[in-house]
């Protein structure tokens, strides 16, 4: 049965295997915290790492120079770019 979308819901439900839950509970006890804090803290840390890796690009010195050169001296638009530009809606 489909669930109704709740716009202002700060709850998150997880289903975990018994042995995974036992591992989490052991780690929670070792850190003297609660399950919510432990899972939230560690999952947010992992999420931030994923976002950082996906949104940032590290360039070599050579690549950085190539990007700067392309910005200072952009190549002429090719036929595909010109065709795409013609399909854009006209500005008022």
Query: Count of CB atoms within 10 A of residue 27's CB?
Result: 14
Asked if residue 56 is part of any domain, the answer here is: yes
Residue 90, H or E segment: none
Domain tally, the chain: 1
Question: How confident is the model over 5-43, as pLDDT tens digits?
Answer: 666 678 888 899 999 999 999 999 999 999 999 999 999
Q: Which domain holds residue 82?
A: 18-87
CA distance 31 to 29: 5
Q: What is the pTM of this model?
A: 0.56
Coil/strand/helix, residue 37:
helix
Asked if residue 6 is part of any domain, the answer here is: no
Are 32 and 42 in contact, with CB atoms under 8 Å apart?
no
């Amino acid at each position: 049965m489909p669930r109704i979308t709740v716009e202002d819901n700060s709850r998150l439900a997880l289903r975990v295997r018994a042995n995974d839950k036992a591992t989490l509970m052991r780690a929670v006890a070792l850190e003297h915290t609660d399950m919510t804090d432990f899972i939230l803290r560690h999952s947010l840390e992992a999420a931030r790492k994923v976002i950082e890796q996906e949104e940032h690009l590290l360039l070599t010195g050579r690549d950085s120079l190539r990007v700067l050169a392309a910005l200072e001296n952009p190549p002429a638009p090719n036929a595909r770019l010109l065709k795409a530009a013609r399909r854009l809606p006209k500005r008022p």
